[in-house]
Amino acid sequence: DSGVTQTPKHLITATGQRVTLRCSPRSGDLSVYWYQQSLDQGLQFLIQYYNGEERAKGNILERFSAQQFPDLHSELNLSSLELGDSALYFCASSAPGLAGAAGELFFGEGSRLTVL
């Protein structure tokens, strides 16, 4: 158990719809990262938040948005869904500023989104 919690674990929806994925980071972690993993693909970085502020952005579509709340949980919003958005969406968190811990991400179990 990584300590990162993601809900829901599975989600099936139709094209054109909107969904929200939720992530609770490990206790004490300030950074939250969102990654997308499509079938047989590696993990594509979407976006990072640090203590409520957007820190880095990857190839995140304009139809997708995210935010991190004061209690540090994060939500990834996916709208106008297309078939190609079907994927595993992972949230990860990392500890703030630990020497030698740079890049050590702890991943949740992912949310599997299926768009029909």
* Residue ranges that bind other proteins, judged by CB under 8 A: 2, 4, 31, 33, 35, 41-45, 48, 50, 55-56, 58, 90, 92, 94, 100-110
DSSP-assigned states of every residue in 77-111: EE-S--GGG-EEEEEEEE-SS-TT-TT--EE---E
Q: How far is the CB of 6 from other proteins (least distance, A)?
A: 8
Please say whether the dihedral angle defined by the alpha carbons of residues 48, 51, 52 and 55, taken in this order, is positive or negative. Answer: negative
Nearer to other proteins, 80 or 113 (CB): 113
Closer to other proteins by CB, 55 or 73: give it. Answer: 55
- Compute the least distance from the CB of residue 52 to other proteins, in Å: 16
CB of 80 to other proteins, least distance (A): 25
| SS3 state of residue 62 | coil
Residue 24: which of 79, 76, 97 has the closest Cα? 76
Rounded to 5 degrees, what are φ and ψ at 59? -85, 60
Q: Which two tokens stand for residue 95?
A: 């500890």
Q: Please say which residue, 13 or 60, places its beta carbon nearer to other proteins.
A: 60
Choice between 24 and 94, CB closer to other proteins: 94
